[in-house]
Every structure is written in C-alpha cells, then in structure tokens.
Amino acid sequence: MTYALVIDDVEEVTVNICRMLGLLGVECKAAYSVREAMLHLLDLTPDIIFLDIKLPGFDGFEVLTYLKREPRLENVPVCVVSTEGQEETIKKARRLGVVGFIVKPATVEELEAALQAAQLLPQKKTG
C-alpha cells in the first residue's frame, strides 16, 4: 500500500486531503506542524509527501530543502499543496524538485495526478 504524509497546519485541509487519498487507496498520516512532521519522519519513510508552503514558524521551502538534503528522504516525492499559486512560487517549487503543485483546494483528480507523476499509481490511458 502507498503511504503519504500530509503536512499542513489547517486541520480541515489535512483531513480532506487524507480522505481523498483514501479514496485512491493511499494510507495517510497527518502532521499539523513541521515539528510533528519531523517526529513522524524519524520513524518512517513515506512514499510521498504533500506539503503546504505557509507553515507557522517555517517556510515550506525550508522543509523541502531539508527533505532533499536528508539521504533517507531525498528521493521521496513531494507535492506542494498551497494557497500560494503565484508563478514565481510554482517555479521555485519546481526548481526544488517537486512532482506536483496544487493550488488549494485540492481535488481528488489533482492528487491522483501527483501520485501518477510520482509513479505511485498506474498512468491513465488517454484516447
């Protein structure tokens, strides 16, 4: 089973993302702060991380940079889920190697596309 960690300080957003991931057959763990996320990451390595950019006390880009520098986590795909949909924010996230960027509110289709981009779900056939 695919395992995701959702890092977002807004409980409603996190619960909704976890529900939608559940519909896609993904097991989900929620972290409502960077500290809580780091505690989870001590014990496990998720298959994918869904990360908010605006977190209390931390910039999500700092978290993303840390994840990419940590040998055990550097290859874990990260998808940003944020209200920050400006072009420069999206470009910065892409430069840091994210597999997707979703502007809130996330949809199940966008989450599914991120999972496919991370090669965690079969690609949809077109045509």
- Residue 97 gets the label, from left (phi > 0), alpha (psi -120 to 50) or beta, of left
What is the pLDDT at residue 65? 93
Look up the CATH architecture of domain 2-117.
Answer: 3-Layer(aba) Sandwich (3.40)
What is the pLDDT at residue 16? 97
Give the separation between CA 74 and CA 52, rounded to whole angstroms. 18
Q: How far apart are the first and last CA of the chain?
A: 28
What is the pLDDT at residue 127? 53
Give the separation between CA 105 and CA 84, rounded to whole angstroms. 11
Give pTM, 2 decimals. 0.94
Predicted confidence pLDDT, tens digits, the chain (127 residues): 899 999 999 999 999 999 999 999 999 999 999 999 999 999 899 999 999 999 988 889 999 999 999 999 999 999 999 998 999 999 999 999 999 999 999 999 999 999 999 999 866 655 5
